[in-house]
């Protein structure tokens, strides 16, 4: 089946035009959507790029944005079908629609987790938040690796597809709104609770170093870091499938918790259990759920 998703990046909300290279802005705009497709287990196919262009945007910046977009598209064999350009009296914005395909029976949703399932995260978390902080503080030379992960996130396209094909995951989201938000979304959609062991969270090394130096709380910051990783649940008795997916997915995977019958989402810290923070929502109560994310075409 075909799946389709749309996501927008706005200057001053999701990135800072004065501090991001144009290529990184274009890269990021597509990466957001590829990450969304990965969370559905879909192979990306095509994209549309719709841009709101302020009058003062230099043509070279426009070119850089399109180049960054197209480079990531080429890497994942995503066809740029077209798009739209319009001027705006407001900030630069990129709205990207992406399509993908996945067998109907393989589609990953947020709703399949059951009590007893284990919770996993791909890669590491925290680099995006640390990268954002260092870019904002202009100390970018300190942790250029975290900055680069923030500016040019690599969506887990392959891992999403193999998790779906191997039927290794029962539910999946990406972390584009942070791990705390992702945990809440799976828990709510699946009607389960969750215990996330914060002490096992795979915090990015450069991010850790940054927070050690700057006095930031690595755990709390990592929970709201918009890393382009996947958070998923898996049945303990199907670990064989997960092992196969790990082998093919090319991404490290860490077990960080489990699902519970009790509906609460709990964060286990060195100082004891606390409620999982709410995460951040770009828009909260005003957003009807069905408008908040992607859907499936036929």
C-beta of 15 vs 258, nearer to a second copy: 15
Tell whether residue 104 is a contact of a second copy (CB under 8 A).
no
Using the contact rule CB under 8 A, the part of the chain among 44-52, 104-112, 115-123, 222-230 near a second copy is 44-52
Options 21, 64, 83, 116; binder of a second copy; rule CB under 8 A: 83
In whole angstroms, the minimum distance from the beta carbon of 18 to a second copy comes to 14
In whole angstroms, the minimum distance from the beta carbon of 124 to a second copy comes to 26
C-beta of 237 vs 298, nearer to a second copy: 298
Query: How far is residue 69's CA from residue 61's CA, in Å, rounded to a whole number?
Result: 12
Q: Which residue has the tokens 């699902």?
A: 259
Tell whether residue 247 is a contact of a second copy (CB under 8 A).
no
In whole angstroms, the minimum distance from the beta carbon of 100 to a second copy comes to 11
Options 50, 145, 214, 248; binder of a second copy; rule CB under 8 A: 50
C-beta of 8 vs 114, nearer to a second copy: 8
Options 14, 27, 76, 156; binder of a second copy; rule CB under 8 A: 14
Query: How far is residue 123's CA from residue 81's CA, in Å, rounded to a whole number?
Result: 31
The secondary structure of residue 200, as a DSSP letter, is G
Tell whether residue 189 is a contact of a second copy (CB under 8 A).
no
Query: How far is residue 223's CA from residue 154's CA, in Å, rounded to a whole number?
Result: 19
In whole angstroms, the minimum distance from the beta carbon of 279 to a second copy comes to 15
Distant-in-sequence, close-in-space partners of 12: CB < 8 Å, separation ≥ 6? 91
Tell whether residue 74 is a contact of a second copy (CB under 8 A).
no
Query: How far is residue 48's CA from residue 190's CA, in Å, rounded to a whole number?
Result: 31
Write out the two tokens for 148. Answer: 């680069």
Options 19, 165, 239, 293; binder of a second copy; rule CB under 8 A: 293
Options 1, 21, 67, 80; binder of a second copy; rule CB under 8 A: 80
Contact 261, 254 (CB under 8 A): no
Query: How far is residue 19's CA from residue 245's CA, in Å, rounded to a whole number?
Result: 37
The secondary structure of residue 191, as a DSSP letter, is T
SS3 274: strand
């Amino acid at each position: 089946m075909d799946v389709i998703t749309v996501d927008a990046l706005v200057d001053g909300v999701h990135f800072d035009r004065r501090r991001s290279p144009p290529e990184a802005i274009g890269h990021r705009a597509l990466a957001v959507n590829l990450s969304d497709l990965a969370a559905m287990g879909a192979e990306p196919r095509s994209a549309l790029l719709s841009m709101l262009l302020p009058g003062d945007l230099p043509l070279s910046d426009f070119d850089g944005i399109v180049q960054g977009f197209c480079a990531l598209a080429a890497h994942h064999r995503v066809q740029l079908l077209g798009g739209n350009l319009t001027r705006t009296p407001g900030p630069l914005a990129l709205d990207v629609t992406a399509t993908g395909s996945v067998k109907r029976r393989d589609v990953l949703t947020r709703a399949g987790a059951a009590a007893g399932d284990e919770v996993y995260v791909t890669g590491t978390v925290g680099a995006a938040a640390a990268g954002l902080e260092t870019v904002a503080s202009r100390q970018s030379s300190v942790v250029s690796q975290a900055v680069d992960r923030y500016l040019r996130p690599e969506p887990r396209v392959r891992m999403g597809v193999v998790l779906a094909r191997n039927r290794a995951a029962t539910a999946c989201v990406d972390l584009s709104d942070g791990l705390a938000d992702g945990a809440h979304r799976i828990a709510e959609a699946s009607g389960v609770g969750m215990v996330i062991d914060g002490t096992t969270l795979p915090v990015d090394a450069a991010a850790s170093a940054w927070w050690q130096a700057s006095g930031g709380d690595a755990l709390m910051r990592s929970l709201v870091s918009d890393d382009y990783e996947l958070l998923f649940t898996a049945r303990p008795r199907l670990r064989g499938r997960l092992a196969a997916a790990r082998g093919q997915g090319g991404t490290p995977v860490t077990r960080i918790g489990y699902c519970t019958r009790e509906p609460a989402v709990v964060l286990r810290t060195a100082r004891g259990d606390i409620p999982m923070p709410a995460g951040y929502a770009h828009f909260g109560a005003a957003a009807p759920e069905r408008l908040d994310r992607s859907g499936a075409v036929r």
